[in-house]
Amino acid sequence: MELGKIRRDRRDFCPVYSEGAFAHSRAERLDWPKLLLERISWHNGATGILSRPTEKQLKIRERIGEDLNAAQKFDWKLLRSPLHIWICFGVLVLDQLTKWIVIWTMPLGSKIELLSFFELVHIKNRGAAFGIFHDASPAFRAIFFGIVTLVCVWLLLNWLGSTPVRERLQRIGLSLILGGALGNVIDRVFFGEVTDFVHVFYRNFSWPAFNVADSAISVGVVLILGTVFWQWLQKRRLRAS
């Protein structure tokens, strides 16, 4: 009798057990942090402990819930952020300006050594970043870079429009990549080649020449990877606490 009474009390107190997991709507099942806190609250109430969630539980729910919702929503307003528009535009202008300065002031193939490991050069690159596909046929380069450019721009815009404002470093990284990609695409579309002018070397080691657009893309990738790694550490720390 006592066991049956306990079970009836549990069903009356916590509807989750009486209705079953499949009785909840799809939206409620997706909101698993809420269901988790309901079970925690029921356990605390059944054991005589205050049923109000702790501050730590609320932080976990808020953090995880915001990440889940932000990752699934695309908002055009996020693409009109002044900061990221200026970053993208600034990278594009700086890239084109430095390339034209090199074209006007340095003959093709010339170099100016500034440091023992750094020099300015004037090189034409018909490939991708750091000289990839430099020796490929013009038809292959046109098809390859056309498809890659469209796909990359579409993915970057969708990613930027789905990234919440609070993830500032990640949004800055995406803006840098987008500005750098547009800078090199302009050169390939109008001139069929990209001007590279920064050359870093050390003794027998020589890194392929690059430009401002390549640098912006590289910095953007580092920022995104660093942000993703930091988010992973924060989530792991929250769940472990």
Ramachandran region, residue 20 (left: φ > 0; alpha: ψ -120 to 50; beta: rest)? left
Residue 135 annotated to the active site: no
What ranges in the chain are assigned the alpha helix state H? 2-13, 15-19, 26-30, 32-46, 55-72, 82-105, 138-162, 168-191, 212-240
In order of 18, 55, 207, the CA distances from 13 in angstroms are 9, 23, 68
Name the one residue in this structure whose structure tokens are 């997706």: 30
* Orientation of helix 212-240 relative to helix 82-105, angle to 10°: 150
214 catalytically annotated: yes
Catalytic-labelled residue, pool 31, 135, 187, 214: 214
Residue 171 CB: number of other CB atoms within 10 A? 23
Residue 192 has a CB neighbour count (10 Å cut-off) of 12
Q: What is the spatial distance between Cα 167 and Cα 169, in angstroms, rounded to a whole number?
A: 6
Nearest-10 Cα torsion for 46, 49, 50, 53: -80
Tokens 């109000």 sit on residue: 52
- Catalytic residue (one of 31, 95, 187, 196): 196
- Could you give the strand order of the β-sheet that contains 118-125, starting from the edge strand earlier in sequence? 111-115, 118-125, 194-202, 205-206
Neighbours of 106 (CB within 10 A): 16
Which residues are catalytically annotated? 196, 214
